[in-house]
Amino acid sequence: MCNLDSGRHRGHHQPRTVTRGECDLVKARCGPASHQRMPLSDLETKALDEHFLICSYVHGYTASQGDAALFRQFKCAPPSHLCHLLRWYTHIHSFGRESASFPAAKKESLTLLINDKEVTIMVNNSMEAEGQGEAGQPPAPEEDIVTPHTVQASSNKGIDYDKLVDRFGSSRIDEALLERFERLTGHKPHRFLRRNIFFSHRDMHRILDAVESGKKFFLYTGRGPSSNAMHIGHLIAFIMTKWLQDVFDVPLVIQLTDDEKYLWQKDATKKDNSLEHYHSLARENAKDIIALDFDVNKTFIFSDVDFVGGAFYENVLKVQKHVTFNQVKGIFGFDESSSIGMIMFPAIQAAPSFSSSFPFIFGNKKDVPCLIPCGIDQDPYFRMTRDVAPKIGFQKPALLHSTFFPALHGASSKMSASDSTSSIYLTDTANQIKKKINKYAFSGGRDTVEEHRELGGDCEVDVSFMYLTFFLDDDEKLEEIRQQYSSGKMLTGELKAELIKVLQKMMAEFQERRKLVTDETVKQFMTPRSLKF
Ligand code: TRP
């Protein structure tokens, strides 16, 4: 490959921009203009692996033609020991033809430092690959859309999560990770982990390394308080977080983004769009969250409207200074007509990832690692956070991503709090739960009993069965139900009865605890104070 390092002295940390004239020279040295690809050397792939340990892309936060050009220099996937390079490769590969519409490369080369030597890899477009105009094979015609503000599956089977891992460039939660969880905590992994409801992660091994060497980390999660009517789908990340807090015995911060929901509210027909409204929803939602039984000695809940200031705001500013409009445009789809509140908001969701935002909890420890359990739709915020972290001297937060909780009507979208028949609310009575499941839960059963007995039900599309995978903890029982239902021995009504039992019990317990949460309890959780850990 082309190594531009011709002995000229350059500062090590100054990646060098290659001028056009030099590129031509390089092309000439690289080989004939027949567009032949030179294989990357071992040194170069090693240097790239190190680059992708820190960075998501060749340059900056979003894929560019630089990534497409580098991708084309690979004849096949890099070996698995170069895991960061391989993750990048799989990610770029997943774009298929879409890569043709990546924006232009920022620079024409990538200069890396390895063993104190500079290695320059050309990532310009002048070396067209043989007969291949884009990064990989053609993808499905339509892609699932997953962003913080839009979730839409392209098929009625729901979001293709497996593909999403590659597109987002995250890692799968696999057996090896689960074994490590179990070894370190002495607990069987939570059913959300065992059943791939949390299916993807970033840097989870780094968190487990810290645990292994006796260090603590902290948990961060959040909620945008858009409505008073929380439904069971809203609980998933919090249930996971609670379990993690219990088994690792670590502090937790919960961000309530009343500011975000105020800024994003466009619906003029909605009764109350005032900032006060969202601010008070934050406190109401905090009650439901607290009712999941979080430990007040280890948990700090805050509303952005109340809390942003001081050390937290210092970190918001650091993030703001290092992220450009172009970058958030690429990540969140903002344009010139987006409000400036929206444009800067991602910095506020980033700041809780850094322990120095909470000096009353962490003292002057600026490097306590952070783990964020969240829905996969929140990943764009944290891709931005992870990219900016090293630039402002902080560790990147680690992530655990969940799938979406399916709506009663079927798995093709996230549950919506505004459609009362699509969700089970935290306030629904035992009888309402029963009625909703029986009436609305999309069934994978057959049209007639005879047909059902003969062909069996389809667990893959059956919402009641899906809900059981979320809430029935007993693996053997779940497997038995799966077999009975898919062989036709169990009818839809019987399957629904199993789910109703599980949900009624869970909700009754939740509602009992919810009754005990007072304004005083909320105040305790929301007061900045030191936590036990
Ligand atoms: N933006 C999230 C929402 O609309 C709220 C949120 C803030 C969040 N910080 C978070 C969610 C961290 C998960 C993790 O719901």
Mean pLDDT computed over 464-469: 97
Q: Is 223 in the pocket of ligand 1 (CB under 6 A)?
A: yes
CA of 60 from ligand 1 middle (Å) equals 24
Closest CA to 70 of 125, 111, 32: 125
- Give nearest CA residue, ligand 1 atom 6: 222
Mean pLDDT, to the nearest integer, of 359-387?
Answer: 96
Question: Ligand 1, residues 370, 372, 378: which to mutate, most atoms within 8 A of Cβ?
Answer: 378
Query: Is residue 156 very low, low, confident or very high in pLDDT (cuts 50, 70, 90)?
Result: low
- Binned at pLDDT 50, 70 and 90, residue 76 comes out as confident
**Claim: this prediction has a pTM higher than 0.85:** no
Bigger pLDDT: 21 vs 106? 106
Q: Is the CB of 445 under 6 A from ligand 1?
A: no
- pLDDT tens for 82-118 read 888 988 998 898 888 888 888 888 788 888 877 777 7
Q: Residue 237: is its pLDDT beyond 70?
A: yes
Does the beta carbon of 222 sit less than 6 angstroms from any atom of ligand 1?
yes
**pLDDT tops 60 at residue 5:** no
Q: Which of 5-14, 119-128, 129-138, 456-465 has the highest mean pLDDT?
A: 456-465
Q: State residue 61's pLDDT score.
A: 79
Is the model's pLDDT at 208 over the cut of 80? Answer: yes
- The sign of the dihedral angle between the CA atoms of 418, 420, 425, 429 is positive
Of the two residues 356 and 122, the one the predictor is more confident about is 356
pLDDT computed for residue 126 by the predictor: 57
CATH for 422-515? 1.10.240.10
CB 119 within 8 A of CB 44: yes
Which residues face 222 on adjacent strands? 255
Indicate whether residue 456 lines ligand 1 (CB < 6 A). no
What is the distance between the alpha carbons of residues 206 and 177, in angstroms, rounded to a whole number? 11
Residue 137: which pLDDT band, with cuts at 50, 70 and 90? very low
Q: Is 226 in the pocket of ligand 1 (CB under 6 A)?
A: no
DSSP strand pairing (370-375 vs 398-402): parallel
Query: Could you write out the DSSP letters of every residue in 79-143?
Result: PTTSHHHHHHHHHHHTTGGGGGGSPPPSSSEEEEEETTEEEEEE--TTS-BTTB-SSSS---SS-
Which run of H or E residues covers position 411? strand 410-414
Cα atoms in the Cβ-side hemisphere of radius 13 Å centred on 490: 23
Domain definitions of the chain by residue range: 2-129, 157-407, 422-515
pLDDT tens digit sequence for 481-506: 999 999 999 999 999 999 999 999 99
How confident is residue 332, by pLDDT bands cut at 50, 70 and 90?
very high
pLDDT in the model for residue 454: 95
- Mean of the per-residue pLDDT values for the chain? 87
Mutate to test the pocket of ligand 1, among 281, 374, 376, 402 (most ligand atoms within 8 A of CB): 374
DSSP for residue 36: P
Rg for the chain, CA atoms, rounded: 25
Closest CA to 290 of 18, 43, 524: 524
pLDDT of residue 251 exceeding 60, the answer is yes
CATH superfamily of 157-407: HUPs (3.40.50.620)
Give CA–CA dist 410/412, Å, rounded: 6
Say yes or no: CB of residue 355 within 6 Å of ligand 1: no
Buried b vs exposed e over 273-308: b needs ≥16 C-beta within 10 Å? eeeebbbbbbbebbbbbbbeebeeebbbbbbbbebb
Q: Helices in 456-491 by DSSP H: which ranges? A: 463-471, 475-486
Mean pLDDT calculated for residue range 425-432: 97
Query: What pLDDT does residue 417 have?
Result: 53
The pLDDT assigned to 270 comes to 66
Rounded-to-integer distance, Cα 69 and Cα 71, Å = 5
Tell me if 157-407 shares its fold with 422-515.
no
Crossing angle of helices 475-486/463-471, nearest 10°?
A: 170
Pocket residue to mutate for ligand 1, from 349, 354, 370, 385, most atoms within 8 A of Cβ? 349
Indicate if ligand 1 lies below 6 Å from the C-beta of 291: no
12-16, 162-166, 272-276, 421-425, range with the lowest pLDDT: 12-16
- Please report the pLDDT score of residue 276 as a whole number: 95
Which tens digit of pLDDT belongs to each residue from 140-151? 436 788 888 887
CA of 372 to the centre of ligand 1 (A): 10
Instruction: Name the residue with higher pLDDT: 24 or 409.
Output: 409
Q: What is the per-residue pLDDT for 123? A: 81
Q: How far does the centroid of ligand 1 lie from the alpha carbon of residue 255, in Å?
A: 7
Region 367-386: mean pLDDT is 97
Using the mean position of ligand 1's atoms as its centre, give its distance from the Cα of residue 197 in Å: 18
Check whether 58 has a pLDDT greater than 80: yes
Would the pLDDT of 155 be above 80? no
pLDDT reported for residue 127: 46
CA distances from 425 to 126, 284, 289, 478, 504 (A): 57, 14, 13, 24, 12
Contact by Cβ (8 Å): 302, 260: no
**Does residue 315 have its Cβ closer than 6 Å to ligand 1?**
no
pLDDT recorded at residue 510? 98
**At residue 29, does pLDDT exceed 90?**
no
Whether 402 lines ligand 1, by a CB cut-off of 6 Å, is no
